[in-house]
Structure 1
Amino acid sequence: MPDVETVVYTNEPGRVLPVLEQELEDFKTEAARFLKGEWDEAQFIGFRLKQGVYGQRQPNVQMIRVKLPFGGVTPEQMEAFAEVAEKYAPLRKGHITTRQNIQFHHIPLLKAAEALFVLGRAGLSTREACGNTVRNVTGDPWAGIQEGEPFDPTPYAAAFARRWLRNPLTQLLPRKFKVAFTANDEDRAITGIHDLGFIPRVRDGVRGFTMVVGGGLSTMPRKAPVLYEFVPVDEYLKVSEAILRIFNRADELRKNRAKARIKFLVDRVGIDEFRRMVEEELEGDWTVGRDFRPDPLLFVHDEEANAPARRPHYQQPNGDHREFTAFVAANVRPQKQQGFSAVEVKVHRGDLRPEQFRGLAAIMREYTGGYARTTIGQNIVLRWVRDESLYEVYSRLKELGLADVGAQTITDVVSCPGTDSCKLGITSSMGLNQAIQERVEAMKITDPLTKQIHIKMSGCPNSCGQHHIATIGFHGAAMKVGEHQLPAYHVFIGGNYDNGELRLAQQLKVRLPAKRGPDAVERFIRLYEAERQPGETFNAFFDRVGPEPFERAIADLCIPGEFTEDNRGMFIDWNRLELYRLQRGEGECAV
Structure 2
Amino acid sequence: MATAEWQPKTEGILEILPEEIVDFEEQVARFQAGEWNPNDFMAYRLRQGVYGQRQADSQMLRIKAPFGGINADQMDALGVLAEKYAPLGKGHVTTRENFQFHHIPLEVTPEIMRLIGDVGLSTREACGNTVRNVTGSPMAGVNPDEPFDVTPYAAAYARYFVRHPFTQSLPRKFKTSFSDSDDDYAISAIHDMGFIPKIKDGKKGFKMVTGGGTAIMPKLGQALYEFVPVEEYIKVTEAVIRIFHKTDELRKNRMKARIKFYIDRIGMDEFRAQVEEELKGEWTQKSFDPTPLLFIEDESKDAPSLKGDYKTGSGKEFDRWMDSNVKSQKQDGYKVVMVKLPLGDVDNNQFHQLADMSRKYAGGRMRLTHQQNLAFRWVPSESLYEVWEKLNEIGLGDPGAHEITDIVSCPGTDSCKLGITSSMGLGSAISEMVESIDTSDPLIRKMHIKMSGCPNGCGQHHVGDIGFHGAAAKGPGGQVPAYELFLGGSFDGGDTRIGQRAKIKIPAKRVPEAIGKILSHYKNDRKDGEEFKDFVARVGPEAIEPVLEEFKDLPELNRDSLQYYMDWTKTVKYQLERGEGECAV
- The TM-score bracket by the shorter chain reads over 0.9
Q: Which residue of the partner structure matches residue 482 of structure 2?
A: 488
> Secondary structure, in 3 states, of the residue corresponding to 2:111?
helix
Q: What are the residue-to-residue correspondences of 1:189-338 with 2, within 5 Å?
A: 189-288=186-285, 290-317=286-313, 321-338=315-332
Q: Tell me whether 1:542 sits opposite 2:532 in the alignment.
A: no
Tell me by how many angstroms 1:540 deviates.
2.2
Q: Which residue of the partner structure matches residue 81 of structure 1?
A: 78
Q: Which residue of the partner structure matches residue 442 of structure 2?
A: 448
Q: Which residue of the partner structure matches residue 383 of structure 1?
A: 377
Q: Which residue of the partner structure matches residue 457 of structure 2?
A: 463
> Secondary structure, in 3 states, of the residue corresponding to 1:242?
helix
Does the 8 A contact of 2:151 with 2:295 survive in 1?
yes
> Secondary structure, in 3 states, of the residue corresponding to 2:295?
coil
Partner AA of 1:418 in structure 2? G
Deviation by residue 1:176-228 (Cα, 9 ceiling, x = unmatched): 00000101000100011000011111111111101011000002111100000
Deviation by residue 1:233-276 (Cα, 9 ceiling, x = unmatched): 11111111110100000010000011000001111110000000
Within 2, Cα distance between the matches of 1:312 and 1:173? 51
> Secondary structure, in 3 states, of the residue corresponding to 2:544?
helix
Does the 8 A contact of 2:96 with 2:135 survive in 1?
yes
TM-score (norm 2): 0.97
Within 2, Cα distance between the matches of 1:438 and 1:105? 24
Structure 2: state its 5+ residue gaps: 1-7
Does the 8 A contact of 1:88 with 1:112 survive in 2?
no
Change (3 A) 1:541 1:22: same
Q: Which residue of the partner structure matches residue 127 of structure 2?
A: 130
Q: Tell me whether 1:413 sits opposite 2:392 in the alignment.
A: no
Aligned counterpart for 1:400 among listed residues 394, 401, 417: 394
Q: Which residue of the partner structure matches residue 5 of structure 1?
A: none
Within 1, Cα distance between the matches of 2:326 and 2:441? 19
Partner AA of 1:311 in structure 2? K
Partner AA of 1:533 in structure 2? K
Does the 8 A contact of 2:477 with 2:556 survive in 1?
no
Within 2, Cα distance between the matches of 1:119 and 1:305? 25
Does the 8 A contact of 2:476 with 2:554 survive in 1?
no
Q: Which residue of the partner structure matches residue 365 of structure 1?
A: 359
Within 2, Cα distance between the matches of 1:500 and 1:400? 34
Partner AA of 2:330 in structure 1? K
Within 2, Cα distance between the matches of 1:474 and 1:526? 18
Within 1, Cα distance between the matches of 2:213 and 2:542? 27
Aligned-residue CA RMSD (Å) = 1.3
Q: Which residue of the partner structure matches residue 519 of structure 1?
A: 513
> Secondary structure, in 3 states, of the residue corresponding to 1:580?
coil
Does the 8 A contact of 2:14 with 2:122 survive in 1?
yes
> Secondary structure, in 3 states, of the residue corresponding to 2:298?
coil
Q: Tell me whether 1:51 sits opposite 2:45 in the alignment.
A: no
TM-score (norm 1): 0.96
> Secondary structure, in 3 states, of the residue corresponding to 1:252?
helix
Does the 8 A contact of 1:450 with 1:525 survive in 2?
yes
Q: What are the residue-to-residue correspondences of 1:544-563 with 2, within 5 Å?
A: 544-563=538-557
Tell me by how many angstroms 1:312 deviates.
4.5
Partner AA of 1:327 in structure 2? W
Q: Which residue of the partner structure matches residue 567 of structure 1?
A: 561
Q: Tell me whether 1:431 sits opposite 2:442 in the alignment.
A: no
Within 1, Cα distance between the matches of 2:280 and 2:263? 20
Partner AA of 2:202 in structure 1? G
> Secondary structure, in 3 states, of the residue corresponding to 2:503?
coil
Within 2, Cα distance between the matches of 1:579 and 1:213? 43
Aligned counterpart for 2:25 among listed residues 21, 28, 35: 28
Tell me by how many angstroms 1:59 deviates.
0.4
Tell me by how many angstroms 1:48 deviates.
0.9
Q: Tell me whether 1:94 sits opposite 2:88 in the alignment.
A: no
Within 1, Cα distance between the matches of 2:239 and 2:183? 28
Percent identity reads 54
> Secondary structure, in 3 states, of the residue corresponding to 2:51?
strand
> Secondary structure, in 3 states, of the residue corresponding to 2:510?
helix
> Secondary structure, in 3 states, of the residue corresponding to 2:474?
strand
Q: Which residue of the partner structure matches residue 4 of structure 2?
A: none
Within 2, Cα distance between the matches of 1:456 and 1:313? 40
> Secondary structure, in 3 states, of the residue corresponding to 1:511?
strand
Within 1, Cα distance between the matches of 2:497 and 2:235? 30
Tell me by how many angstroms 1:169 deviates.
1.1
Tell me by how many angstroms 1:569 deviates.
0.7
Q: Which residue of the partner structure matches residue 178 of structure 1?
A: 175
Structure 1: state its 5+ residue gaps: 1-8
Within 2, Cα distance between the matches of 1:428 and 1:558? 20
Q: Which residue of the partner structure matches residue 6 of structure 1?
A: none
Aligned counterpart for 1:38 among listed residues 35, 38, 48: 35
Change (3 A) 1:422 1:312: closer
Within 2, Cα distance between the matches of 1:501 and 1:76? 37
Within 2, Cα distance between the matches of 1:429 and 1:47? 29
Single out whichever of 126-135 and 297-306 deviates more from structure 2: 297-306
Tell me by how many angstroms 1:313 deviates.
2.1
Q: Which residue of the partner structure matches residue 67 of structure 1?
A: 64
* Number of aligned residue pairs: 578
Within 1, Cα distance between the matches of 2:254 and 2:427? 29
Tell me by how many angstroms 1:482 deviates.
4.1
Within 1, Cα distance between the matches of 2:531 and 2:234? 40
Q: Which residue of the partner structure matches residue 344 of structure 2?
A: 350
